[in-house]
Amino acid sequence: MPDEAVVIAARRTPIGTRGRALAALNVEQLAAPVLRAALADAEAAVGRRLTVADVVLGNCMGPGGNPARVSALAAGLGVEVPGATVDRQCGSGLAAVLDAATAIRAGDDRPRIAGGVESPSTAPVRSLDGVPYERAPFAPQGWPDPDMVRAAEDLATADGISRERQDAHAARSHQRARAARDAGSFAEELVPLAGLTADDSIGVAEPLLSRLPVLFEGGTLTAGTATRISDGAAVVAVVPRRLAGQAPGLLLRGHAVVGCDPALPGIGAAPAVRAALDSANASLGDVAAFEIVEAFAAQSLAVLGRLGLDDDDPRVCADGGALALGHPWGASGAISVVRLFGRLVRAGAPAGTPGAPAGTRGAPAGTLGVAAASVGGGLGVAAVFEVIR
């Protein structure tokens, strides 16, 4: 009988703004250290050596050539460990985790390591007929295919999201991230690299938010309400529940990938969250922690609005989101799972979690968390996890 899939270890690099501390590291140099760290954590959790069946990594703009396999070799996992690279754009890292979990749930009960990696600093320049371009089309000719900045501005207009709300949302993300960093909330998930020991964009834009010029004439978006393009990697170890034993972790309860209007791709996370909750037979009110990738303040607020959640809901990105931490595209969805693991498994139980005694390490068994991302081209990906102990 197929087993359930459980995340028992979760690690990430500090997130570095493109061109800064991590700029000299290519994708495998970013991914290999976190692969090794997650595997070591998983082996410590189950008290035995683990044979990895596969490494599955999301990546959007890298060099090609299957970065997951290259990273597995660079990590020293052995020539017998294969690799698969997933491209669902900003949802790639979460999609990779779901692919690994799905293999286990389908009956292949060997451990896997999954997540994502992105190095915009070392990404190759692409060209078509000798003309450089930044990205491939997200939709065929004749369909709307806005770049993500334009799409976020259009979404702000469509939903009537003001500059003031966007500034407040970005400020809140920085404030939460700074408090979490200062409290050491990220310490156990980070694998320092190239001298970088913390996410380097936390707080950088906050003092300037109200003074930054808009990106489009007559618009509302600014550089401060758009996340920073970043370098980074994040992975989790996914094992069958029988192998997890008594190790605490996040059991995959439900997930979904959906399509939406490619003209407004930023809303994709909302229907994906609802579909994932339906598959888990759960509701929004059952969820103790949300990690929804904040590509833009307007996009994040539009998703929250469609889900019926308040702008400042304390369950959503409680330690700050991508607006403060940065956005390494192919890794961001996996960072959301690492952050859920940090909040629900490693850290103290969230405020208001039913049945959580004061001072406990981690939320009690049965607590639910949701990871989600909106994706260029009109997609959404989401997953519902349950704490086990």
- Residues that are catalytic: 90, 327
95 touches 383 (CB < 8 A)? no
Q: What are phi and psi of 55, to 5 degrees?
A: -115, 120
Whose CA is closest to 294, among 279, 274, 313? 313
DSSP letter at 21 equals T
In this structure, what token pair is assigned to residue 162?
């003001």
Whose CA is closest to 326, among 138, 156, 174, 164? 174
In DSSP notation, 327-363 reads B-HHHHHHHHHHHHHIIIIISBPPTT-TT--TT-BBP
Paired sense of beta strands 5-12 and 249-259, if any? antiparallel
152 touches 296 (CB < 8 A)? yes
User: Residue 333: what residue type?
Assistant: G
What's the CA gap between 308 and 143, in Å, rounded?
29
Residue with the two structure tokens 């609005």: 305
In this structure, what token pair is assigned to residue 327?
């956005």
Whose CA is closest to 264, among 235, 305, 223? 305
Q: How many residues does the chain have?
A: 389
